[in-house]
Structure 1
Amino acid sequence: MANEKKYALAPCSGMSPYGLITRAASVDTVKERDDLISICMGATSADREGFKQLIRKYPIIAVNGCEGSCVDKILEQKGVKVAKIINAQEELNSENMKPTDPVRLDENGEKCVLVMKKKIKELID
């Protein structure tokens, strides 16, 4: 672990291929590191018990799927300013990659996940 600080990843929960990539990349990255937890944006939006405290406990990295930046906006509505932001569509476009399925990871989707995991880790470290 290159970083002593703990972060929370908040991936997009949208129904686009980019949302799926953010969730898969976030879950994989959290599994691989002990300096990360993940935040459920659905539970955050619904004000589920315990999430008000959780979203204030650690600096949050918003892992947005697209330029809509819904993760940032939802957290802002909850009174939380994100510490860092990454946009999957932007990052994957810069690598000439585009996921195509909003619910299944095909070979191309898995490649997109690997790229996003690398980008998330670079943002943290």
Structure 2
Amino acid sequence: MEKQSKKVAIMPCAGIGQIFGPITREVGYQLVEELYPDQSELVCPPALATDIEEDIKFIQDYPILVLNGCKDRCASKLVIEKGEKIDAEVYLPDILRKERLSLAGEKRSKLGPKSQLAIDKMTKAAAEVIDQLLEGGNVNKIERQF
């Protein structure tokens, strides 16, 4: 079945125990709640892992943008485990490297100014990808493709 391009499924990493999860989740919230409220759906990693029908439907029906936080790429692995293809990825370490940002001293329990800057940069990069996915074209300007 061909996926609809009227919306994008956004899959953030869970990042339990690390700062990357709260950052990618915040990026997901900004994309879904503020920038693309009618054109995106936020996939919940625990719901997807436990086969909640709504989240399964999101990744089946719409192009999937994964927001991975670390080298383990657990968000990508979960989507693939559910039998779906990842359409695009924005990878936090690539953003940090490109923007020369460090998260040293930041805490996952209370994101500070460095984390907020990373959120802003990652949100901007993800928005560019979403625009391309919504246009139905190939995604060119992303950090990594699958």
1:51 aligns with 2:55: yes
Comparing 61-70 and 42-51, the one that deviates more: 42-51
Cα contact 1:66–1:90 (8 A) shared by 2: no
Give the equivalent residue in structure 1 for 2:95: 91
**CA displacement at 1:91 relative to structure 2:** 1.1
Taking every aligned residue pair, what percent have the same amino acid on both sides? 30
Give the TM-score normalised by the residue count of structure 1. 0.88
**CA displacement at 1:107 relative to structure 2:** 1.6
**CA displacement at 1:118 relative to structure 2:** 0.5
Give the equivalent residue in structure 1 for 2:127: 121
Q: What is the root-mean-square deviation in Å for CA atoms of aligned residues?
A: 1.5
Deviations 1:9-36 (A, max 9, x none): 1000113212211100110111121211
Distance of aligned partners of 1:98 and 1:17 in 2 relative to their CA distance in 1, 3 Å threshold = farther
Distance 2:24 2:54 in 1: 23
Distance of aligned partners of 1:5 and 1:48 in 2 relative to their CA distance in 1, 3 Å threshold = closer
Comparing 94-103 and 37-46, the one that deviates more: 94-103
1:12 aligns with 2:21: no
Runs of 4+ in structure 1 over 4 Å off:
none
Which of residues 19, 29, 32 is equivalent to 2:31? 29
| Mapping 1:101-112, distance limit 5 Å | 101-112=107-118
Aligned length: 122
Give the TM-score normalised by the residue count of structure 2. 0.76
Deviations 1:63-90 (A, max 9, x none): 0001211111111111011111111122
Deviations 1:82-113 (A, max 9, x none): 11111112212211113332232112211111
Structure 2: runs of 5 or more not aligned: 132-146
Distance 2:108 2:54 in 1: 29
Determine helix, strand or coil for the equivalent of 1:61. Answer: strand
